[in-house]
A and B are shown apart, each in its own frame.
Chain A
Amino acid sequence: QQQVKQSPQSLIVQKGGISIINCAYENTAFDYFPWYQQFPGKGPALLIAIRPDVSEKKEGRFTISFNKSAKQFSLHIMDSQPGDSATYFCAASPGSGYSTLTFGKGTMLLVSP
């Protein structure tokens, strides 16, 4: 049973455009939702994270939007750049006590020059 569903699997965006990646979760106990960015040959790196007490969090060109009632959250990359080309993973965790992150299957983003 996949607890975090991520879409699309791959995405091509023109330079300067907006990249949008969506995730949906099933476990209502999840209360921590990070996004990780992974470049080829590297480990995933924490990009931005949100908790359900806010509906949006912005860090530079990266924004997480969170819809608790729909159990969905998304990553928006504004003014996408070729350097943003990477694989992006959403994840979720109950976040209390001894818990672990459940990851989506990832989205390969290519930003064309």
Chain B
Amino acid sequence: DAGITQSPRYKITETGRQVTLMCHQTWSHSYMFWYRQDLGHGLRLIYYSAAADITDKGEVSDGYVVSRSKTENFPLTLESATRSQTSVYFCASSKTDYGYTFGSGTRLTVV
């Protein structure tokens, strides 16, 4: 199906473990984004990408890394998960840098 898909939908991991959240879009949109959503903080930008092999840090990038070897994929990796990274993570894509389309999110719990 066309669209933007995030996986897994839910994830529980232990402190210190590496975890990767996947994001795949079928529109060949140039721009992709990762946000985290926390109560009282709204949506905060983690990383973004204008094209394959072009990525930039957002407001809350510490502890996260991204890659974009293919236009359609934009995985987000937590190198060593901490409890403060418990959150709902949203991936988004855009044909231009307006009008984002968001995925359904990954709820990550770090215990």
Name A's B-contacting residues (CB within 8 A).
6, 32, 34, 36, 41-46, 49, 89, 93, 95, 97-106
Chain A residue contacts of B104, Cβ below 8 A:
41-43
Q: Do B97 and A105 touch (CB < 8 A)? A: no
Main secondary structure of the interface of B (DSSP, over half): strand
Q: Do A99 and B97 touch (CB < 8 A)? A: yes
Give 7 CB contacts A-B under 8 Å: A6-B42, A42-B104, A43-B103, A49-B99, A99-B97, A100-B45, A106-B42
Name B's A-contacting residues (CB within 8 A).
33, 35, 40-45, 48, 50, 56, 58, 90, 92, 97-105
Q: Do A95 and B48 touch (CB < 8 A)? A: no
Given contact pairs A32-B98, A45-B102, A49-B99, A100 touches B90 in the complex (Cβ within 8 A): no
Q: Do A93 and B42 touch (CB < 8 A)? A: no
| Nearest chain B CB to A68 CB, angstrom units | 18
| Nearest chain A CB to B1 CB, angstrom units | 15
Q: Do B42 and A43 touch (CB < 8 A)? A: no
